[in-house]
Amino acid sequence: MLQKSWNAVTLICGNHKKDHSHPMKLQQGPHSLFFSCPEYKSIYGDDHEGRSCNNRLTLVDYEKLLDYLTERTYAGDGLQETNLTGLKFTLKGVDYEVLEHTKDKYRVLMLNRKAISK
């Protein structure tokens, strides 16, 4: 079975059109940890050049994503793994697309519509 694992899923920021070279990074926020785009320009940081990308994901949503991927992978008799490459879905207002699924690793493009519209 797939273990719920922090390194099973690589999140890719989906706010840069066809450019999939921005892996989401775990950050310490004011209240809790969350994932944010490396292009996010914190008001506390030194780098205020360029546009800030506000795409982000809470750990609660990340857990939901892991659960969903696990369920879809082992749907059916639970013996056969389903390859999820190319699967698109929306959970809690966040759009996801599985770019690559190999063994128990996933590369997932994500776009939090609420976060980026702010």
Residues that bind Zn ion (CB under 5 A): 13, 15, 22, 37, 39, 53, 55
Is-contact 107 12, C-beta < 8 A? yes
Kindly tell me which of 13 and 87 has the beta carbon lying closer to Zn ion: 13
Q: Which is nearer to Zn ion, 42 or 83 (CB)?
A: 42
| Choice between 27 and 70, CB closer to Zn ion | 27
Q: Which two tokens stand for residue 15?
A: 């706010």
Q: List the helix and strand counts (H, then E) for the chain.
A: 2, 7
99 burial via Cβ count (<10 Å: 0-12, 13-18, 19+)? middle
Structure tokens at 78: 């639970």
- Nearest approach, Cβ of residue 29 and Zn ion (Å): 16
CB of 31 to Zn ion, least distance (A): 22
Closest distance between Zn ion and the C-beta of residue 47, in Å?
14
